[in-house]
Copies of this chain bind each other. A is one copy, B any other.
Amino acid sequence: VESVCISSDLPAVSHTLTALIGNALVHFLLSGIPLRPQWELSTINWHVICSLPKLIDLLDDTVPGIGTYEDFNTIDWVREKSKDRDRHREITNKSKHSTVALLFSISDAFSGWLLMLLIGLMSGALAGGIDIAAHWMTDLKEGVCLNGFWFNHEHCCWASNETTFQERDKCPQWKTWAELMVGVSEGSVNVLNHFMYVSWALLFAFLAVILVRAFAPYACGSGIPEIKTILSGFIIRGYLGKWTLIIKTITLVLAVSSGLSLGKEGPLVHVACCCANILCHFFTKYRRNEAKRREVLSAASAVGVSVAFGAPIGGVLFSLEEVSYYFPLKTLWRSFFAALVAAFTLRSINPFGNSRLVLFYVEFHTPWHLLELIPFVLLGIFGGLWGAFFIHANIAWCRLRKNTRLGHYPVIEVLVVTLLTALLAFPIEYTRMSSSELISELFNDCGLLDSSKLCGYTSNSGSTSGSVNATAANGLGARLAGPGLYTAMWQLALALVFKMLITVATFGIKVTDLDVFLKAKQNIRAQASKHFFFFLISTLGGVTRMTVSLVVIMFELTGGLEYIVPLMAATMTSKWVADALSRESIYEAHIRLNGYPFLEAKEEFRHKTLATDVMRPRQSDPPLSVLTQSGMSVEEVERLIADTTYSGFPVVISQQSQRLVGFVLRRDLVISLENARRHQEGVVSVSAVLFTECDPPASPSAPPAVKLHNILDLSPFTVTVHTPMEIVVDIFRKLGLRQCLVIQNGRLLGIITKKDILKHMAQMANRDPESILFN
């Protein structure tokens, strides 16, 4: 486990942002929303009535650190949500007394929407920038524009006056590297072009790997499994930090441009989540509350898909169906808003010059026949099988790199893969172009203005069988060795599948590209691309197990309801087939591989075990470590902390009765005791530790007691020993608990943590319970 954490300090982030989205907005933000902590202080006097115990004052963070979490730990959703409600109540109460507070209350209510607007703008802008940069750098591998090196091939020739209609792709301003260096444009200099192509690809790939290794190890991979885990309540500090964002953005461009078989769909979700996390820092409401921040991140993942596929509704459904853990209706509305803003921003930037959000906007206008459902369902079956196989092969490969020396040389691995890909990809036009360009080439309707060779207006009787072999080899090579960015090929599954299947499609088209079929070509191409499209969707469905969101994304891509029934039939079939082979999507498989504590919401726990079978301590273990509400000294408590590694301790009335009073977290306890030792006068090792609200009668000579009532959670969740585990799992899932106490007839018997549950589930599924690494 890499635990390199990058601290994200506020000024630096604000600096980056200022550059990114303009001075005015950030200044408005920074001035409009005060960051002063005193808003958060509770004003309720806790000592008015002593007989009635009060609930734990979660806002009272006079002792710094209380109420926060350690890295690689799970948050307590209930506690976080309580904190937010307390905060909201505070603001509402204050707003009745002064105008400033009222204004603040209003700005607080709208801050969520403002944040969504900013996330949408920033992600849309970044996605647009990535698209443009990747386009330019992809072309840079082949040549350079004399009018200005920052023009890509298309722009260069558009701007030129010497471009003819027949050969719009060629203009004197655009020089291949061979032309520039040797000066001739004959076919014999192809070797030089090939060499330059490979060199640039290697350079880009090398830069990408080095940047990731040096600055942001978390920037590797698509990030979707980690984001899924984070959304479920896990903490990985720095995973969504500013360094990750910067490096991920740069290396995404480099990796895509290097020609590796990877796409920007998954990483864009990560980039959008980084934006959201960074922007959260400007809003107290979200900065200080892990649960609220996760609502924002859920929306951000919708934004990511929205800009990747140009599908705002699909993005929202992707977030709902695939990544989110807690998705209330409020988040639904906000996600939709943010996704639309992002799509609109991207469209305004217009990176592809076609007024579309994506390069591969596909239009299906021909109606379909009922009989066509049969091939579509067959494609669904094949896609599901392929998806399940892909997940299996991918996980096997990742396990291999994890356990053998293969994973120790990421830089070399990437360079080898890039070399192979570049060497094999250059000779054939269709493998040389980027995936999205190729898809666009395949699906766009042929028109008179279209210079594509596939349309048959220029006839090339090129290499058919040879090139097909090469393409297949390239696809195979890419599949075996992976996208290359440092950890594994799996993480860019989406793009990989796209690219892999392109080889299939290219095959289909090359065959028809003979003169005899020239007349029928147009029709065959439409049929072939339609079936390829369905196969592609089915495979994506088999790999990710998305259904509704996938159909909606494709619906938004193809822009018509015409094909919704066949699409649904194909994706549903694919999901069923893949589910029959293995229950996990690629994301879940990788979450499990990495041992993250993720409680899957989709699958029900079906075993007939009871809470008593799972709770700690077991029968053979020593009794449960508990604190008593009074009667323990500072020294005793400190010894208990030192002797154990538990994250929290139940507090009982007395060791004899074992009647539960509350629960205290280890972190809070350690911080409070340290604080008392340092700042409270007269506290010594024999001082009493009191969790009660009222002082018990003590001798006047005794040293002052340490009162820890304020860190005691008086409402811990409890279940009885007879509670079936299925209900316990349900409670953990739905309420987002970290732990739960087990009682019988009023006596505390044990404790169940999220980790215990995950271990138990692993055991019941005949997996290694020790594979669950984190709390």
| Cβ 8 A contact of A552, one of B86, B313, B734 | B313
B55–A724 CB distance below 8 A: yes
CA distance A343 to B565 in the complex (A): 9
B653–A745 CB distance below 8 A: yes
By a CB distance below 8 angstroms, the chain B residues around A720 are: 714-716, 718
CA distance A565 to B559 in the complex (A): 15
| Cβ 8 A contact of A746, one of B86, B321, B743 | B743
A659–B722 CB distance below 8 A: no
A718–B715 CB distance below 8 A: no
A606–B719 CB distance below 8 A: no
Contacts of A66-101 to chain B: CB distance below 8 A: 78, 81-82, 85-86, 88-89, 92
Tell me whether A92 and B321 are in contact in the complex, defined as CB-CB below 8 angstroms, given that A714-B722, A715-B720, A747-B746 are known contacts: no
A572–B714 CB distance below 8 A: no
| Cβ 8 A contact of A333, one of B86, B548, B565 | B548
CA distance A212 to B78 in the complex (A): 48
By a CB distance below 8 angstroms, the chain B residues around A329 are: 321, 601-602
**Per-residue 0/1 for A707-731: is the Cβ within 8 Å of any B Cβ (1 yes, 0 no)?**
0000000111011101110110011
A312, CB-defined interface residue at 8 Å: yes
By a CB distance below 8 angstroms, the chain B residues around A330 are: 602
A495, CB-defined interface residue at 8 Å: no
A121, CB-defined interface residue at 8 Å: no
Q: How near does chain B come to A741, taking the closest CB pair, in angstroms? A: 11
A336–B547 CB distance below 8 A: yes
A660, CB-defined interface residue at 8 Å: yes
A568–B336 CB distance below 8 A: yes
Q: How near does chain B come to A630, taking the closest CB pair, in angstroms? A: 13
A53, CB-defined interface residue at 8 Å: yes
B660–A89 CB distance below 8 A: no
CA distance A53 to B723 in the complex (A): 11
Interface residue count on the A side (C-beta < 8 Å): 73
| Integer count of this chain's copies in the complex | 2
A564, CB-defined interface residue at 8 Å: yes
CA distance A551 to B610 in the complex (A): 46
B715–A727 CB distance below 8 A: yes
Contacts of A543-602 to chain B: CB distance below 8 A: 547-548, 551-552, 555-556, 559-561, 564-565, 568, 572, 575, 601-602
A55–B610 CB distance below 8 A: yes
B653–A547 CB distance below 8 A: no
B561–A561 CB distance below 8 A: no
A731–B735 CB distance below 8 A: yes
A344, CB-defined interface residue at 8 Å: yes
A611, A726, A747: residue with the most chain B Cβ atoms closer than 10 Å: A726
A726–B333 CB distance below 8 A: no
Q: Which residue of B lies closest to A332 (CB)?
A: B548
CA distance A723 to B663 in the complex (A): 13
By a CB distance below 8 angstroms, the chain B residues around A333 are: 547-548, 572, 575
A337, CB-defined interface residue at 8 Å: yes
A643, CB-defined interface residue at 8 Å: no
A340, CB-defined interface residue at 8 Å: yes
CA distance A731 to B732 in the complex (A): 11
A559–B556 CB distance below 8 A: no
A167, CB-defined interface residue at 8 Å: no
A316, A320, A336, A547: residue with the most chain B Cβ atoms closer than 10 Å: A336
CA distance A743 to B601 in the complex (A): 30
A660–B572 CB distance below 8 A: no
By a CB distance below 8 angstroms, the chain B residues around A608 are: 86, 89
A92–B606 CB distance below 8 A: yes
B726–A715 CB distance below 8 A: no
CA distance A572 to B341 in the complex (A): 13
A572–B337 CB distance below 8 A: yes
CA distance A85 to B55 in the complex (A): 36
Tell me whether A604 and B715 are in contact in the complex, defined as CB-CB below 8 angstroms, given that A659-B745, A747-B746 are known contacts: no
Q: Which residue of B lies closest to A357 (CB)?
A: B561
Tell me whether A55 and B722 are in contact in the complex, defined as CB-CB below 8 angstroms, given that A344-B565, A555-B313, A745-B660 are known contacts: yes
CA distance A723 to B713 in the complex (A): 9
By a CB distance below 8 angstroms, the chain B residues around A336 are: 547-548, 551, 568
By a CB distance below 8 angstroms, the chain B residues around A714 are: 720, 722-723
Q: Which residue of B lies closest to A568 (CB)?
A: B340
**Per-residue 0/1 for A323-358: is the Cβ within 8 Å of any B Cβ (1 yes, 0 no)?**
000001110110011001001100000000000000
Q: How near does chain B come to A228, taking the closest CB pair, in angstroms? A: 14
| Cβ 8 A contact of A332, one of B321, B719, B743 | B321
List 18 contacting pairs A-B, 8 Å CB cutoff, sorted by A. A54-B722, A78-B727, A81-B730, A85-B604, A85-B606, A86-B608, A332-B548, A333-B575, A336-B568, A343-B565, A611-B715, A657-B746, A659-B745, A662-B722, A715-B724, A718-B718, A734-B734, A746-B747
Closest 5 CB pairs of A and B: A746-B746, A715-B723, A714-B722, A659-B746, A734-B734
